[in-house]
Structures are given as C-alpha cells and as structure tokens.
Amino acid sequence: MRSFAALVALAAAAALAIPGAAAAASPLRQMNHVVVIYEENHSFDNLYGGWERVNGRADADAAHTRQVNQAGAPYRCLLQVDVNLATPPQAASCNDTTTTRAFASAFPNAPFRIDVAGRIPMTARTCPAPGVSAPNGVLAPTGEPGGCTRDLVHRYYQEQYQLDGGRQDRYVTGSDAVGLTMGFFDTRALPIYRYLHGRGHPRYAIADDFFQGAFGGSFLNHQWLVAARTPRWPNAVNDGGPNDLHSVVDANGMPTTAGSSPLYVSPLGAKVVDGALTASCSPGGGRPATPAGVTCGDFAVNTIQPSFQPFSPGTAVERRLPPQTTPTIGDRLSAKGVSWAWYSGGWSNAAGKVNAPGWTNGNGPVSTPTNPRACPDPAAFATATWPNCPDKLFQFHHQPLNYYASFAPGTAARRRHLRDEAEFIAAARGSQRRCALKRVSLIKPIGAENEHPGYTNVSTGSDHLVTLLRTIRASRCARDTMVIVTYDEFGGQWDHVPPPGLDGTRGPHDRMGPGTRIPALVLAPRLRAGFVVDHTQHDTTSILATIEHRFGLRPLTSRDRRVRDLSSVFRARRAR
C-alpha cells in the first residue's frame, strides 16, 4: 500500500498536469452552474479599453498603435469610408499622400472615439432596417435609432495580415473599413459598465488578457467555443470551378483585392479568392500556387452554411459544409450525465419548432405574391418557407452545434439540447424558490441584441446583456452560478496586445490562433468583494477548460488541454 505522503505527491503531480486543476478543488468546484453569454465582434481596446486598472488603451505604446501602409510606412491620416466619418461630412484636418491614393481626413493616425457628438453617438439614427445591407453605413439622421457603424472585415487570412506578426499595425491596411478599425467606444458609457459600477453590484472579474480562439470571424470562433478545433470538408472540390470554395492568397497571405480593401493592392490582382475554405495545398484549375508558410488544406475558416436546417434560404447543397463528426463539449457533457443546453435567440422560429418558447409564426403559412408558404411574422426572411422562419437578423453561422451529425434534425440530442433563448430566460425567472437552470447553459443572443457592428449597436446589446445578468442574479441559481461573458471575435477592430505565438508572446497557440484580444467578464459569488482584474492569459478554449475541469471531462483537443481555465479569477487581486 502506498504511504499517505506518496498519495499526496501523486495528487499534486496530477493537479500540475492540468492547468487550473488545483483551483478546481475549491471555488470552481462550488460553482454548480456555468452560464456562458457569447456576444459579438469587438476587440478589448475597442470596447473595454477604458475600464480602470486594466491593460487598456492608455497602456498602448506607439509601436502597437501607429498604423502602416502596405510598404511599412506610417500613414499621416486615417482614411474613412463609413458615411458618417468620411470627409465630407467630417471637415478635413489632415491630408495623406503616403500611398498612391491621396486622401483627406478628419482623423490623424491614432485611435479615436466613435461615440461623440458629430460622429456616431449612441443616440444617432444610423442603423439599417433589419435585413437591409448598408456596406458603408447609413447617413445620419436617415436610419433607425441606435448609433450603428458600418461593418468591418473580420476573416481568417486578413486578420493574420492585420496582426503583422504581433506588431498590430496593419489593421487599417488589411480592412475594407480602413480607419474605422482604430475607433473605440467610451467604456464608461456602456450599460454593462454602469451596471457593474452601480450600488450593490455583483462581484465580478474582468479578464484583460483573453484572446479569441482562432483567427478570423464568427463562424470559426463559434466552432472553437464548442469543439476547440477547425471544421474540415473532406475531399473538397479542388478544380477552380464555381463549387471550389478554397481561398487563393498572394505572397502576403492575403486573399483581398483592391476593390474590397481600399488601401491594399494585391500583387496577384483579380486572381485572389476570399473563400470559405483555406487555400488549397495543391490548387487545381490553373489557380496560383499557395505560398510557403500559409495554412492550407480543406479547413472551413470563413462563413459557410450548415447542411441542416436552419441555413440561409436558397443555399445550394454544394456550398453547405458536410456534417462534422468530431466530439463537442456537448457530447462530453452528455456522456458524463451533466445537464446542458445551447440557447439561441430566434432558434424556435429558425428551426421550425412550432409553438415552442420564442415561436412567433402562428399555426400555418401565409401566401404572398412571391411565396405561397411564407412566414406570418414580418420580421422573418421574406424568402423563408414555413415552418423554418428565421428572423432577418438570425445568424445561421452562429449555431455551431447545428453543423454536427450528432445534433442532426430528428435526433434526441437536438430536441434536448438546442433551445431558444426565451426558454433560458423563463427558467431563470422561474427560479425564485429552486434553481431550474441546467448545469451548463450557453447563450447566443439574436442579431439585434448581440452588439455586432453593421446591423446593430453596442448599447442595445449591452442593455440585453444587463437584462440577462439581472435575471440570473435575481434567481436562486445565483448563489452557485459562474457567469462568463465574452465575445466571439474582434470584429475587425484594433487591439494593442499581441496574441500568444506572435511578437515573442508565450502561451498555447497553433496555426489557427489565438487571434486578437477580446473582452471577457466573469461574475461569481466567491470572487473578492468589489471587482478584480485577472491578468492571466486565456483564450476562447479556456471556457471549455473551465467546464471540463469543473465537471471532470476529458479535453477535446490539445488547445483546451493546455490553456489556463478561468478559476484564475478567484485568485486575482481586488482592483479597488
């Protein structure tokens, strides 16, 4: 029989083998419920860079702030194409001739505040109507209320170019929104900031070294949230034809033409392709060779539709990703007998769950001149066929588990675990006497409430976030619930902190990421009073590690095995 001392030594060694495992024995172990709220498209500096005591915008040095052109020379001004920031209507105060495109601007080459009078305050009427495309924004005051900016490119290869090896100085050059990448919001005006600084606010931690799991956009980072890996399309078409979805990149690793990024000129001209898949390792159909060092293969890295409903109406099957078969955090939880659900705003309408929580489309279709089986709710896609009635701001690629065979339509796993956000809210509100939440809840707000630039605004989404947090806090669940709030990715916006693997920054990384730093909050009852700032390095897969360590699950991949979990917040020092 082993001695007591030997057993203690073995236990200590086991704890060291898994980052965060030792902490899981105390405060994390007492968190019987984990709620993850997954917001949209903001970098840390863009949204939380003015939070006190964090590594924010005031800590950025010039080397990680000043933006350079394609040749590496600093711009004098920031070109703006958002109709509310361009010159006119903004009065020019700067002229730039550092490239072949001379331009005038009201913005010098430095970060600037977006939400001020005369630009795009939160009260501005600059939002497009739901479902309406506004590539360069909506000129005030002709739009809907809310202070929306235009959208910004946030894709796999572009972000790697923008990061520039950790120099963080090509966000402008690599973007279709150019100077808007350097904009930021007044952190202290955000509803979430005001809530967490109000009297009697909940205990919370702000994590200021938290990175998006993978380079690029929402589709890929949602996949990393549930599976810690990039999906693949086995034997994808590789003939250069219309169904070949591989990207084609130039010598800079960019798939972007001059027409889509005003300050970038590709040496390949129109031969580049910004596809849903990575560049082919052996391009077919006469496409140019993929440069050495560029990630290639049949990886799905940019927005692509799933095989299963709901998908964007009219998407051909040849352009829908085949069902994935690798394990997800949901599979791990189910195998362990841990209750869980993915709650998405608008899911019942989109998935055709008639009369389920959140359903707004009646008991049958209506006939219109263009659609004999149209959806009754005018907020639904006009081209949708009842009962699949997605809201115009429902985002299909924000539903990562719908890409997996284990959650296919008709399966018990789909019925049990893919739910509407309205069901979560009802369960939390009904938990006044006994907590009715599942052990793990993953919440994805609908487009109108998720803070995504282009089709919504930060104030509406932040208000919705506060409503969710208040609802949880008012329930019996609050006494043993850890709430994790973060964003899927950077939304194309600048941040001054290099991700792990770049510019000498150490930490778990691979060819897929992590990417740009993003906001993250943790609310939990056992945190130190007031609030704390956690400077521990994390990425999106740290959420998986937290769930795995709390409920005794095996890691999904090497990344979630190597990252630190969020139990670090319980050791962080009080910030005030």
Co-location of 368 and 479 in the same domain: no
Distance CA 45, CA 182 (A): 9
Co-location of 432 and 410 in the same domain: yes
Co-location of 376 and 398 in the same domain: no
Please state the rounded mean pLDDT for residues 383-409. 97
Q: What is the pLDDT of residue 574?
A: 67
Co-location of 357 and 339 in the same domain: no
Using CA atoms of 220, 221, 225, 227 in order, give the dihedral in degrees to the nearest 10: 20
pLDDT tens column, 417-427: 999 999 999 99
**Kind of pairing, strands 103-105 and 340-344?**
unpaired
Please state the rounded mean pLDDT for residues 158-180. 97
Question: Strand, coil or helix: what is 424?
Answer: helix
Q: What is the pLDDT of residue 573?
A: 75
Per the prediction, the chain carries an average pLDDT of: 93
Cα distances (angstroms) measured from residue 398 to each of 274, 394, 417, 443, 445: 20, 8, 15, 11, 10
Distance CA 419, CA 415 (A): 8
Distance CA 563, CA 485 (A): 18
Co-location of 372 and 330 in the same domain: no
**Residue 23 reports pLDDT greater than 70:** no
Q: What is the pLDDT of residue 351?
A: 98
**Residue 559 reports pLDDT greater than 90:** yes
Last residue of a domain, one of 387, 412, 436: 387
Q: Which two tokens stand for residue 132?
A: 């309406």
**Residue 17 reports pLDDT greater than 60:** no
Co-location of 329 and 457 in the same domain: yes
HSE-CB for 19 with a 13 A CA cutoff: 22
Co-location of 382 and 455 in the same domain: no
Asked if residues 217 and 154 have their Cβ atoms less than 8 Å apart, the reply is: yes
> Tokens 């890295």 belong to which residue?
301
pLDDT tens column, 105-140: 999 999 999 999 999 999 999 999 998 999 999 999
Whether residue 442 is contained in a domain is answered as yes
Residue 11: pLDDT band (50, 70, 90) is: very low
Last residue of a domain, one of 387, 412, 444: 387
Co-location of 469 and 364 in the same domain: no
Co-location of 330 and 363 in the same domain: no
**Residue 504 reports pLDDT greater than 50:** yes
Residue 24: pLDDT band (50, 70, 90) is: very low
Residue 376 is part of which domain span? 351-387
Number of domains present in the structure of the chain:
2
Asked if residues 160 and 20 have their Cβ atoms less than 8 Å apart, the reply is: no
Cβ neighbour number for residue 16 with a 10 Å cutoff: 10
Whether residue 44 is contained in a domain is answered as yes
**Residue 575 reports pLDDT greater than 70:** no
Could you tell me what percent of the chain has a pLDDT over 70?
95
Q: What is the pLDDT of residue 76?
A: 97
Co-location of 469 and 405 in the same domain: yes
- What is the CATH classification number for the domain harbouring 470? 3.40.720.10
HSE-CB for 111 with a 13 A CA cutoff: 26
Whether residue 517 is contained in a domain is answered as yes
Residue 576: pLDDT band (50, 70, 90) is: low
Please state the rounded mean pLDDT for residues 166-176. 97
Whether residue 284 is contained in a domain is answered as no
**Residue 344 reports pLDDT greater than 90:** yes
Cα distances (angstroms) measured from residue 107 to each of 66, 112, 119: 13, 8, 11
Q: What is the pLDDT of residue 8?
A: 35
Asked if residues 391 and 350 have their Cβ atoms less than 8 Å apart, the reply is: yes
Distance CA 67, CA 302 (A): 25
Whether residue 530 is contained in a domain is answered as yes
Single out the residue of 286, 248, 284 nearest to residue 267, CA to CA.
248
Biggest distance spanned by C-alpha atoms of the chain: 82
Could you tell me what percent of the chain has a pLDDT over 90?
91
Distance CA 295, CA 524 (A): 39
Cβ neighbour number for residue 116 with a 10 Å cutoff: 11
Ranges 9-23, 42-56, 298-312: which has the least confidence: 9-23
Whether residue 439 is contained in a domain is answered as yes
Whether residue 277 is contained in a domain is answered as no
Amino acid at site 317: V
Co-location of 462 and 404 in the same domain: yes
Question: Strand, coil or helix: what is 482?
Answer: strand
**Residue 388 reports pLDDT greater than 50:** yes
Co-location of 222 and 337 in the same domain: yes
List beta partners, residue 67: none
Residue 361: pLDDT band (50, 70, 90) is: very high
H or E segment to which residue 348 belongs:
helix 347-351
